[in-house]
């Protein structure tokens, strides 16, 4: 048996540092949205923080939880990606945490100046 000593403290601090560095921009997005200075990123942020960890049967039901009707065109791609996740797992409803995951992906894409959803990969 090969004995490996894992430095759990180092691992914990390294993981926390990486998460903090990657998601530091969320604090600025939150401040901008609360001050009314944000744009599309606020819709993604609201989807991230207002989505409940429950099952959603329709896009309209999810939109009602978020409370931003004007966000519909921007949030529909997030819904479609989460719906695809549901179908791949053989569900006919969408789980809120899947929506949160895709909302975070949309925020990261917005920060990096990339489109969301990313363009589909096709064979040449």
E strand intervals along 37-93: 55-56
> What pLDDT is attached to residue 60?
94
**Does the residue 112 lie in any domain?**
no
pTM comes to: 0.77
Whether 74 is in a domain gets the answer yes
Does residue 60 belong to any structural domain of this protein? yes
The answer to whether position 86 is within a domain reads yes
Treating both helix axes as pointing N-terminal to C-terminal, what angle do 72-88 and 40-50 enclose, rounded to 10 degrees?
Answer: 40
Domain that holds residue 52: 38-92
Two structure tokens written together for 106: 């949309």
Percentage with pLDDT > 90 across the chain? 32
Tens digits of residue pLDDT in 53-91? 899 999 999 999 998 888 899 999 999 999 998 999 888
Indicate whether 33 belongs to any domain: no
Yes or no: say if 81 and 104 are a contact pair by the CB < 8 Å rule: no
22, pLDDT greater than 80 = no
pLDDT tens, residue by residue, 25-41: 888 888 888 898 888 89
């Amino acid at each position: 048996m090969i004995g490996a000593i894992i430095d759990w403290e180092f691992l914990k601090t390294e993981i926390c540092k990486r998460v903090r560095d990657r998601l530091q921009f969320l604090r600025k997005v939150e401040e901008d949205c609360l001050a009314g200075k944000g744009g599309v990123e606020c819709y993604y942020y609201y989807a991230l923080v207002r989505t409940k960890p429950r099952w959603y049967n329709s896009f309209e039901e999810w939109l009602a939880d978020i409370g931003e009707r004007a966000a519909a065109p921007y949030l529909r791609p997030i819904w479609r990606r989460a719906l695809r996740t549901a179908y791949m797992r053989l569900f006919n409803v969408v789980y809120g945490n899947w929506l949160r995951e895709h909302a975070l992906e949309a925020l990261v894409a917005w920060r990096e100046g990339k489109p969301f959803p990313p363009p589909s990969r096709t064979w040449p």
